[in-house]
Structure 1
Amino acid sequence: MTQSDPNGDSSVERQLAQTVKALAESEARFRAIADSMPQMVWSTRADGFHDYYNARWYEFTGVPAGSTDGEGWNGMFHPEDQPRAFALWRRCLETGEPYEIEYRLRRHDGVYRWTLGRARPIRDGSGEITRWFGTCTDIDDLKRSDQAKELLSQELSHRIKNIFAVVSALIALSARQHPEARAFATAVRTRINALARAHEFVRPHTESSKPTVGSMTLHAFLTDLFKAYSDLKGKPRIILSGDDATFDDQAATSVALLFHELATNAAKYGALSREDGRVALDTRRADDRFILTWTETGGPPVAGPPAHTGFGSSLASLSVEAQLGGRLERKWSPSGLQVIADLPATALSRRRAAQNVA
């Protein structure tokens, strides 16, 4: 027999009433919190059926309450973004992966604004998804600011590239007016061109300009730099092997100057001065070091180190030791010059190293 209180209500009925009251209060608190947030908040059933939007959603979109329930939300996106957003949402429902996407959402005045959409699943004790909760954040102003910065960066980079060309042209013009300085002018121009190639590699690129320099790796950079030293058929005479490495603009100038000097000297006096001469450049990661070994073969016999250290050699040493924090060693064997650049493993990508430490 069910125990009743003096008013005739059973204890089960009281517990049920208390549970209903607690649920109503919890839902009221959730709605109050959700409606106070600056983001648009929404939730769905486990199958992805949208059944809740906060007040901010309706304020932003201007649509009648309930009109975007179910799958009506997709019609609020820009037509070009709808297939992508819907396909990703369906995949997340199937896999349980978090949902994150940028799309253009129609505002109440008909203007489409870039929005960041995110959603995470809620699981029960057995791991089954019971609901999805998501947000939409207006990022249009930030997006336009980033686009403006990118445009400015592209323009600045283009102007820097033009400066390299103008300086090179001025040196060439001066050399014609002063023939006695032609050798010096040629050496300066080739170094400026090496810097220009380094800048071309690391400057900000659009999608259409990226393929001209390849990906941001050491081997891609050096392959581009060494194209000028290929044989008449375009076959490389400087052969790369070993470990590749992530590469950034902080190291590009120093690496460009080092290997430009080595390649130029090899073309004048070393292995590349003869048709059958070759250079092997091996790059190896060893613990916390990255070692680059330049080995020349097939060139004129080497009698020993030069009597005087030229500017190019000093520049190469400065690039490795002062700029990259490494060590530079030269071995003058009869078969050809060997140069070993022993660098800290982080020297080629200092930004990534700093991010890893952080």
Structure 2
Amino acid sequence: MDRDASSDAQLRLAAREAELARVQKIGQIGGLTVDLRGGRFRNTRSPEYLVVHGLPPEAVHETHEAWVQRIHPDDRDRVLGHFLETVRGHATDYEVEYRIIRPSDGQIRWILAKAEIERDADGAALLLQGAHIDVTARKQAEEQYELVARELSHRIANIFAVVSSLVRMAARSEPESRAFAARIEERLAALHRAHAFVGRSRTDAEGGLIDLLSRLLAPYREGAGERVQIDGKDGPIGPQAATCIALIVHELATNAVKYGALSSQTGMVTVTVDRDERAGRICWREAGGPAIEAQPKRSGFGSTMIERTIRAHRGLEVRYDWNPAGLCVTIDASLEALGR
């Protein structure tokens, strides 16, 4: 019975290993272990790893130098530096994306490497166990997306330019409409800046809400010294929220120039961004401008547009404090609303 039980266990183990190998082959995932003891890197590669990397069966114990040589020259220093820094540090997780040049066919493939590092009680690295995943198809799709996105962004920018030009041409033949046309152009420019922000490539998309505010308010900061200040906790913002906030901030800035703090030589505007795990807040504070006698009784076109923008974007709330010393506007939004 013991012999039969042992045989059954071996059969089940073999079946599981075959199933694992099949899954790795389908997912283009190769397993690996690296003995890190003593600062020497002794590799063991799975058969699926060898296929992903285009290596022959005898490369199952390839050298560390062979792996380094296979890394694309443009990625080699970055990847090797990250690997050595991780091994020599205290981290137990390792992850990096890079390109390789496969020896078997010369193809460039993208690899996502993920691993865990076992360490002794003193923190010295003992063993790395992980997987290499061929993510070439994903990278190619991302490159295609970037190409289409850049082309679309270029076409939309042209549309903004054409519409602004048509507005200016129409205003020339109707002098009484020039002031209105100028305001329309300013709003189109604000939308254009918001579009340029959300239409950035993924590799250039590090900035968040503060970056958006800086772009929107850049025309009002030129030659004004420190009259427009922006500070606070940055964070990501989605395309719908960016467009909505662009319209609101543009109206606030326009009114500040016409009636508020920026209409005075000594006035200034402070924009502060704050956020926690549930919501974000933008505070617009004006100081040093003409004293506010009372809240306006009539709502202009800009105020009406802000109200409609807020209603169209759920999770957004705007409050006005008509303080005699200067207008204070608070924009509150849930993180879900900011992410849309």
Q: 1:340 maps to which residue?
A: 329
Q: 1:270 maps to which residue?
A: 260
CA contact (8 A) 2:229 2:269 kept: yes
Match of 1:77 among 48, 71, 79: 71
Q: Which has the higher helix share?
A: 2
Whole-angstrom CA distance in 2 between matches of 1:52 and 1:26: 23
Which AA in structure 1 matches 2:95? E
Match of 2:218 among 227, 232, 235: 227
Alpha-carbon spacing, 1:82–1:221, altered in 2? closer, same or farther (3 Å): closer
Q: 2:183 maps to which residue?
A: 187
CA contact (8 A) 2:256 2:263 kept: yes
Alpha-carbon spacing, 1:63–1:318, altered in 2? closer, same or farther (3 Å): same
Q: 1:98 maps to which residue?
A: 93
Instruction: Note if 1:257 corresponds to 2:259.
Output: no
Identity, % of aligned pairs?
31
CA contact (8 A) 2:42 2:61 kept: no
CA contact (8 A) 1:292 1:342 kept: yes
Which AA in structure 1 matches 2:93? P
Which AA in structure 2 matches 1:299? G
Whole-angstrom CA distance in 2 between matches of 1:118 and 1:223: 37
SS in 1 for 2:31: strand
Whole-angstrom CA distance in 2 between matches of 1:186 and 1:341: 27
CA contact (8 A) 1:31 1:54 kept: no
Q: 1:3 maps to which residue?
A: none
Using the TM superposition, give the Cα deviation of residue 254 of structure 1 relative to its aligned residue in structure 2, in angstroms. Answer: 1.5
Q: 1:8 maps to which residue?
A: none
Deviation sequence 1:219-266 (CA, Å, 0-9, x none): 3322322222236x3414233355555433221112111121122122
Whole-angstrom CA distance in 2 between matches of 1:27 and 1:130: 26
1:121-200 to 2 correspondences below 5 Å: 121=117, 131-200=127-196
Which AA in structure 1 matches 2:208? M
SS in 2 for 1:258: helix
Deviates more, 1:74-83 or 1:144-153: 74-83
- Provide TM-score, normalisation by structure 1: 0.74
SS in 1 for 2:207: coil
Using the TM superposition, give the Cα deviation of residue 30 of structure 1 relative to its aligned residue in structure 2, in angstroms. Answer: 7.8
Q: 1:205 maps to which residue?
A: 201
Whole-angstrom CA distance in 2 between matches of 1:176 and 1:154: 33
Whole-angstrom CA distance in 1 between matches of 2:276 and 2:18: 58
CA contact (8 A) 2:190 2:246 kept: yes
Deviation sequence 1:107-135 (CA, Å, 0-9, x none): 52222322223333467999987644333
Match of 2:56 among 50, 63, 75: 63
Instruction: Note if 1:113 corresponds to 2:109.
Output: yes
Deviation sequence 1:253-303 (CA, Å, 0-9, x none): 121111211221221223322222333344455895644443433333434
SS in 2 for 1:280: strand
Which AA in structure 1 matches 2:298? H
Considering only CA atoms, is the larger Rg found in Structure 1 or Structure 2? 1
Q: 1:318 maps to which residue?
A: 308
Using the TM superposition, give the Cα deviation of residue 182 of structure 1 relative to its aligned residue in structure 2, in angstroms. Answer: 0.9
Whole-angstrom CA distance in 1 between matches of 2:277 and 2:69: 54
Which AA in structure 1 matches 2:69? G
- Provide TM-score, normalisation by structure 2: 0.78
Whole-angstrom CA distance in 2 between matches of 1:64 and 1:287: 50
Alpha-carbon spacing, 1:60–1:183, altered in 2? closer, same or farther (3 Å): closer
Alpha-carbon spacing, 1:169–1:81, altered in 2? closer, same or farther (3 Å): same
CA contact (8 A) 2:68 2:76 kept: yes
Whole-angstrom CA distance in 1 between matches of 2:197 and 2:171: 28
Whole-angstrom CA distance in 2 between matches of 1:127 and 1:27: 33
Deviates more, 1:142-151 or 1:91-100: 91-100
Structure 2: unaligned runs, 5 residues or longer: 1-6
Q: 2:299 maps to which residue?
A: 309
CA contact (8 A) 1:100 1:119 kept: yes
Match of 1:239 among 229, 237, 240: 229
Whole-angstrom CA distance in 1 between matches of 2:193 and 2:12: 63
Whole-angstrom CA distance in 2 between matches of 1:297 and 1:167: 36
Using the TM superposition, give the Cα deviation of residue 92 of structure 1 relative to its aligned residue in structure 2, in angstroms. Answer: 4.2
